[in-house]
Structure 1
Amino acid sequence: MTPRPKLAAATLAAAAVLFTAGCGDDDKSASTSSPATAPASAVADATPSTSGSADEAVAKATGFDPSAIYKREGPGVVTVISAGLKAAAASGDDDSAGLGSGFVISSDGEIATNAHVVTSGEGDKITEAKRVYVKFSDGNEVEAKVVGFDPFADVALLKIAPTGLDLRPLPFGSVKNLKVGAPVAAIGSPFGEEQSLSVGVISATERSIQSLTGFSTTGAIQTDAAINHGNSGGPLLDANGDVLGINSQIRTESGDGTGVGFAVPVDVVKRSIDQLRKDGQVRYAYLGVSSRALYPQVAERFDLPVDKGVWVQELPKSGGPAKEAGITAGTREVTFQELPWTVGGDIIVGVDDTPIEDDADLAQALLPFEPGTTVTLKIYRDGKQQDVEVKLGERPLAVPPAG
């Protein structure tokens, strides 16, 4: 059985002031990933060496200088301490605490972090921490206000009073031309070890990871840089020191650093931050389908008219935009290549002018639209292509049951 995903925030033991290896609730995220857990030996000391000739040679040859990145961007990375997390303790403790990371994004005192660092629970049971504090590398520790959080992307925006603080905003980068193998650095507070640096490479792009709601976050970055409990909310940086994403999860079987880490991509982060600044919340368009991506062998087995697209498998029992527009789901389950397929539903191949080849394409195509917008789905039904207009709804906090 594939392990459930865990999140990379640490739980703060109230009495002993010790950091546990969990996130307060090991099952906070219902996906196949796990909170970032890597061995402590994989995390660099908070004062990395800058004098080794070998390190200098590598930096000169590749243009990637972790020591320089750490020196320049490290002061902008903070430790985030949350208190009053009602659902964080299995014992029912209403005042447990958690610890994660974050980073400064503006001179006005804005801090970006993960939503799960400053909340507890999932779906419509998510609750916000009663108190949040931000600790800087120079020893300053101040109270922060949660401006808002986006549970779908696992992003939160905090605000502190900047008076008397020397703030170092980290610049946002881009994932547009991101390549597998590109070097990256992660800075954060794994296991409470503040200002720790780890390095690695981009292991993969365009991954899907579970959010706090059961819906997937698409476009996630996979990395082998060590991302442990407490790294949640910290930045994943490119060779220029620009933010590529927010470190969030690790997928592991053993609970240690043999897993792989995942970061919420910066384009998703920027979208969330912009809306949180404006409204304190983020709204997503909702179609209301459960689908599976096609591939040539499936198309051949079931005599389908296309071998790319998403095959509608189920619709919510309670209805939804797609169901109201007449989109149909499959009615008969057949096992093929050890997987269950529900046969007979519509195949979605486009949203307006955007072609759809898999589930990630469908999720990405819907992102620019506001709830209430009408879009045209290009579908195949009974072997024939047709267009169906759908008025998009607003994504709920939990995935509705199918039926």
Structure 2
Amino acid sequence: MKPTLFLFFSGVIVSSLFAAQKNPELRVVEDSRAVASIGETPVVSYADVLDKATPSVVAVYTSRLVQPSYYQRAPQGLQDLLRQFGRPAPQSQSDGSKERMEQVGVGSGVIISEDGYIVTNYHVIQAQRGQVADEIRVRLSDDVEYVATLVGSDEKTDVAVLKIEPEEVLPVVTIADSAKLRVGDIVFAIGNPMDVGLTATQGIVSALGRDSSGILGPGAYENFIQTDAAVNLGNSGGALIDAAGRLIGINTAIVSGSGGSIGIGFAIPSNMVLNVAANLIESGEVPRGLLGLIPVNLTPDLAEAFGLSSMHGALVNQVQVDSPADRGGVRHGDIIMQVDEVKIESAQQLRLVISQMRPGRKVEVTLIRQGETLTLPVVLGSLTGSVASLEVEQSILEGVQLLSIDSRLRKGWSLPDDVDGVGIGDVLPESPYSELLARGMVIVEVNGNAVTTTEDLEAQLQVGANRLYIWSSGTNHFIALYVQE
């Protein structure tokens, strides 16, 4: 049976250079040295390491405001009877129930500054998908509680920053350079699993650079540390530390068939977390560079067809008209091998590397075109700008890239002026809709209603059978699309 990916809903812009992550408004303790290898002397206890790091880890509790309902204020027997007939229960005159806070989630967080900045996962502070909790409380290791405010969040990396106003200087974690991690390094996961209290588990770095797991969904930026340290529900947002007690990641997700740990956990690297947090504290958003192209991974057959000896690099599948890549001379069919000094191994890594860089930065793109190696200067655009429509965004249709049709896309696809709707970009082979939807299609209507934006599409699609009116290659036709729950 295919394993299920669980995010810890109980209650992640990767850094370009570690040294460039300092922010005048965020004072953190950094130690960029690589952890030493263990020699012949056996280590029998890591108590001192955990004593150093554990006080900087907190429990995070989220609550939502619950409105009094008719059902709550009617006698139980009447509630049950009226529910059977789909009717509301009348308000009980003797019931004085009022609005109240109801706890909906438990997670973890890590203190990164003495004055109260805390990092956690974005999904930890949600009451439900896309909606932040009405109240966020933080419990320190000494059991003192504070109400926290949300400074900012970044859904694409699953990182959020909280702020509390402490009465005294807080214990902070020392932050390591996660780029110096190696597979086999000893690590500890510290958090509040199942709300049992702060707990530490041990493991090793099992793998680095996991970027194709799809844990955070389409359009996210993934560069996970994989570990076998036991991570369970409630560990989300907690610390992954090295053998020196330094933060190397924020625990985020597990692969499990039951929701419990089976030794496959994922953490956002500390470099990524610190970069995102610094930007959120400084400006409330995370600026990201943009090339304006769609890269895909090379397959063995494609590599052979392009005369390549390996599958390293990212094949340019499409270049948006008048995008930074287009203006810089990048063409479809190019294989991007390097950006500045960073070697590109895959399409996912290319997206990740570019997302780390600020808009306006001039980069050197090294690529292979028809067997020749070229280096082209490209000035990056902004992912928040109009050319961002070609980037993969969160999609209601799993594995399907939905595109807003603007003048550039219309020109690039040679769409007639009278065709309007939502464009279909890349469709992943594993998508449940890959046999029905294909790149270049335009969804014109859903269940008889015209759609022009992804919001329209989401509003009209329903779980179960849907009637889609599609434009494709100059003709219109209907298809039946079954949306999974």
TM-score computed with the length of structure 1 as normaliser = 0.71
Q: Secondary structure at the match of 1:10?
A: coil
Query: 1: distance between equivalents of 2:289 and 2:128?
Result: 23
- Partner of 1:67 in structure 2? 47
Q: Cα 1:395–1:63, aligned 2, differ >3 Å: closer, same or farther?
A: farther
- Partner of 1:205 in structure 2? 208
Q: Post-superposition shift, 1:326?
A: 6.1
Q: Cα 1:385–1:279, aligned 2, differ >3 Å: closer, same or farther?
A: same
- Partner of 2:346 in structure 1? 358
AA partner of residue 5 (structure 2): P
1:196 pairs, out of 186, 195, 199, with 199
Query: 2: distance between equivalents of 1:102 and 1:60?
Result: 35
Q: Deviations over 1:99-147 (max 9, x none)?
A: 110021111111111121113666xxx3332221101222211101111
1:77 aligns with 2:65: no
1:398 aligns with 2:401: no
1:139 aligns with 2:138: no
Query: 1: distance between equivalents of 2:360 and 2:131?
Result: 27
AA partner of residue 178 (structure 1): L
* 1:116/1:212 contact within 8 Å kept: no
AA partner of residue 8 (structure 1): F
- Aligned pairs for 1:1-16 within 5 A: 2-3=2-3, 5-10=5-10
* 2:64/2:127 contact within 8 Å kept: no
- Partner of 2:431 in structure 1? none
Q: Cα 1:97–1:395, aligned 2, differ >3 Å: closer, same or farther?
A: farther
Query: 2: distance between equivalents of 1:192 and 1:287?
Result: 43
* 1:275/1:282 contact within 8 Å kept: yes
Q: Post-superposition shift, 1:195?
A: 0.7
Q: Secondary structure at the match of 2:184?
A: coil
* 2:210/2:226 contact within 8 Å kept: yes
Q: Cα 1:146–1:315, aligned 2, differ >3 Å: closer, same or farther?
A: same
- Partner of 2:235 in structure 1? 231
Of 365-374 and 234-243, more deviation after overlay is shown by 365-374
* 1:253/1:259 contact within 8 Å kept: no
- Aligned pairs for 1:3-402 within 5 A: 3=3, 5-10=5-10, 61-63=41-43, 65-84=45-64, 97-119=104-126, 126-163=130-167, 165=168, 167-208=170-211, 209-210=213-214, 212=216, 214-294=218-298, 298-300=302-304, 302-305=305-308, 307=310, 308-314=312-318, 321-322=324-325, 327-329=330-332, 345-395=333-383, 398=393, 401=402, 402=425
Aligned length: 330
Q: Deviations over 1:302-329 (max 9, x none)?
A: 143563311123567x985446666444
Greater Rg over alpha carbons, structure: 2
Q: Secondary structure at the match of 1:270?
A: helix
Query: 2: distance between equivalents of 1:158 and 1:232?
Result: 14
Kindly report the root-mean-square deviation, in angstroms, between the aligned alpha carbons of the 2 structures.
3.3
Query: 1: distance between equivalents of 2:151 and 2:249?
Result: 20
Query: 1: distance between equivalents of 2:39 and 2:50?
Result: 13
* 1:63/1:239 contact within 8 Å kept: no
* 1:66/1:185 contact within 8 Å kept: no
Query: 1: distance between equivalents of 2:270 and 2:287?
Result: 18
AA partner of residue 158 (structure 2): D
Q: Post-superposition shift, 1:198?
A: 1.2
AA partner of residue 110 (structure 1): Y
Query: 1: distance between equivalents of 2:185 and 2:65?
Result: 37
Q: Deviations over 1:345-371 (max 9, x none)?
A: 321122244432323542453244212
Q: Secondary structure at the match of 1:176?
A: helix
Q: Cα 1:5–1:288, aligned 2, differ >3 Å: closer, same or farther?
A: farther
Q: Cα 1:72–1:237, aligned 2, differ >3 Å: closer, same or farther?
A: same
Q: Deviations over 1:256-276 (max 9, x none)?
A: 322500100011111112112
TM-score computed with the length of structure 2 as normaliser = 0.60
- Partner of 2:79 in structure 1? none
* 1:144/1:158 contact within 8 Å kept: yes
* 2:315/2:347 contact within 8 Å kept: no
Of 267-276 and 250-259, more deviation after overlay is shown by 250-259
Q: Cα 1:240–1:100, aligned 2, differ >3 Å: closer, same or farther?
A: same
Q: Cα 1:10–1:60, aligned 2, differ >3 Å: closer, same or farther?
A: farther
Q: Deviations over 1:274-317 (max 9, x none)?
A: 112211221221224443333766422x143563311123567x
Q: Cα 1:78–1:309, aligned 2, differ >3 Å: closer, same or farther?
A: same
Q: Percent identity?
A: 34
AA partner of residue 256 (structure 1): G
Q: Deviations over 1:49-75 (max 9, x none)?
A: xxxxxxxxx999444734333333222
| 5+ residue gaps, structure 2 | 13-37, 67-100, 385-391, 395-400, 403-424, 426-439, 441-485
* 2:227/2:263 contact within 8 Å kept: no
Q: Deviations over 1:130-172 (max 9, x none)?
A: 2211012222111011111122222111111111x46211111
Query: 2: distance between equivalents of 1:282 and 1:173?
Result: 21
